[in-house]
Structure 1
Amino acid sequence: MSDGSRDFHKPVRRPAELFDRLFADDDPAEISRVAHSTARALVARVREEPSDGVVERLVSFTDAHGIDDIAELWSRSPARTLPGALWRLYLLQLMIHDDPQTAALLYERGRVEIDSVDPLVAGAPTPASPDELVALIDTILRGVFQGDFAIALERAAAFARVQAAGASHVADDYEATESDRASALTTRALRLATYAADLTACASLWRRDALS
C-alpha cells in the first residue's frame, strides 16, 4: 500500500484538467448546475424504469470506462449533495475493485474492532473474502438505482465506517515499525470516516426530499 492519496485518487486521471477543458470559461455556478442536473436526471430516469441492463452498466461503469467521465460531472460537487454522494459511492466502489485483498483485510479488522451495528448494516459475510467485498459494494451501488436510495447510502456509510476502523487499527500496528505505511492507513481511515459522515447526512436529506 502506498500513500493515502493513492487510496482514492490514483485512478482519477486529471479531474481538474477535465473540468478546465469542459468548462473553460464558465462560471462555477454553471459547473454546479450541470453536476446537479445530470445527477438528478440519471437517478430519476433509472429509478423510474430500472432496466436490469441499464443498472448493470451503471454499476460496472468504472470497470469499463474508468473514473474520468464521472469526475467530469461530479467530483467538484459539495459532499452533501446528490452529485457529491454519487461521486463518493463510485470512489468507494473503485477503492474496493482496485485492491480487494487490502479491503478485505481492513474490513475484517474493522468488523472485529468496531463497537457498533455497522457490520450488520453493511451486510458483508463473516468473514468476507475479497470477491465477496467486491460483490457487496456492487450490490450497494445497485441499490442506488433499484430499491431504497437512503438505505443504499446508509449501507455505504456503514461499510466505510468498518473500513475506517480497520485502517485505523492496522495503522496502530505499523506505527512503531513502518511509519509511512501507518500514516497512509491513518489518512485512509480519516477519509473513509469523512465519507461515512457525508453519506449518512445525504441519506437523511434524501428522506426529507432535500438532497439536491
Structure 2
Amino acid sequence: MERFHRPVRMPIEAFDVFEGAPDPAAVKRVAHDTAHALLNRVHESEDPEVVERTVRYANHNGLDDLVQLWAPAAAQSLPGSLWRLYLVHAAVTQDAANASYLYRRGAEVDVSINHVVAGAVEPTGPAELQSLIETILRGAFTGDFADALDRAAAFCAVMSQGAAAVAESDEHTNPSRASAALRRGARYLDFARDLATSAKLWRVGALD
C-alpha cells in the first residue's frame, strides 16, 4: 500500500499569477546553493531511485517548499530555471486534458520548429503530454541541462501559441475564458523566453 502523501496544494491558477519577489542576499544564496547541490547530487548519483524521487518531488510533497525556496530567484538563474521546470510540470500534471488541448492548438499554428524541439508524440493526448513533460524534467537531472531547458522553452512557446489561439476563438463567445487564456499564454511566453536564455547562459557557464 502506498504511503499517504500530501497533494500538490498550489492550485493551477498559480501558474497564471506567478510573480517572483525581491530576494534578500541570504535568501538568494540559499536558493542558489540548494539548486546547485540538488542538480549535482542527482547528476553524480548512480541510484535511479534518487532521480525518481527528485522528479516526483512536487507530486509527493507539494510545491510549497519549492515556492518558498526558488520562486523569488531571478528568472534567468539556476534556481529560477528549476522552479519553472517544476511549475510547468505541475501545471501539466494537474490538468493534462486541457494542457494537451492547448498544446495541439499551438502545434497546429506553430510555423517554427518549437513543436519539433519539444518532441511530443503525435497525436498528443493527455498521456503523451504528461510523458513529454516528465521526460523533460527528468532530462534536466540525468542529461544535458541546457538541452532540457531548450525543450522546456520550446514546449512553453507552443503552449503560448495554443493559449493565444483559444483566446482568439473565444473572444466573442466566452470573453472570460478568452481573458484567462490570454494571461496563460503570456505566462507561457515569458517562461519560454526565460528558459531559452537560461539554456544559453548554462552553455557558457554563466547560469548561477
State the TM-score, normalized to the length of structure 1: 0.88
**SS in structure 2 at match of 1:79:** coil
Whether 1:85 and 2:112 are equivalent positions in the alignment is no
Whether 1:204 and 2:195 are equivalent positions in the alignment is no
Any idea what the Cα deviations from partners look like across 1:8-33, whole Å, max 9, x if unmatched? 168x9xx99xxxxxxxxxx8110001
Does the 8 Å contact 1:50/1:145 carry over to 2? no
Which residue among 36, 42, 66 is the counterpart of 2:38? 42
Any idea what the Cα deviations from partners look like across 1:51-104, whole Å, max 9, x if unmatched? 211111111111111100111210100100000000000110010001000001
**Shift in alpha-carbon separation, 1:50–1:173, aligned structure 2, 3 A:** farther
Q: Which has the higher contact order (CA 8 A, sep 6+)?
A: 1
Does the 8 Å contact 1:158/1:196 carry over to 2? yes
Whether 1:97 and 2:104 are equivalent positions in the alignment is no
1:147, 1:67 → 2: CA distance? 23
Which residue among 13, 21, 24 is the counterpart of 1:6? 13
Flag structure 1 segments of 5+ consecutive residues without an equivalent: 17-26
Whether 1:106 and 2:89 are equivalent positions in the alignment is no
Does the 8 Å contact 2:15/2:187 carry over to 1? no
2:182, 2:133 → 1: CA distance? 22
The match for 1:23 is: none
The match for 2:9 is: none
Whether 1:165 and 2:161 are equivalent positions in the alignment is yes
- List aligned pairs for 1:25-174, cutoff 5 A: 28-174=24-170
Flag structure 2 segments of 5+ consecutive residues without an equivalent: 1-11
The letter for the 2-side match of 1:110 is G
State the TM-score, normalized to the length of structure 2: 0.90
The letter for the 1-side match of 2:42 is V
Question: Equivalent pairs: percent with the same residue?
Answer: 47
Show structure 1 runs of 4+ deviating over 4 A.
Answer: none
1:205, 1:108 → 2: CA distance? 30
| Cα RMSD, aligned residues only | 1.9
Does the 8 Å contact 2:16/2:187 carry over to 1? no
Does the 8 Å contact 2:76/2:198 carry over to 1? yes
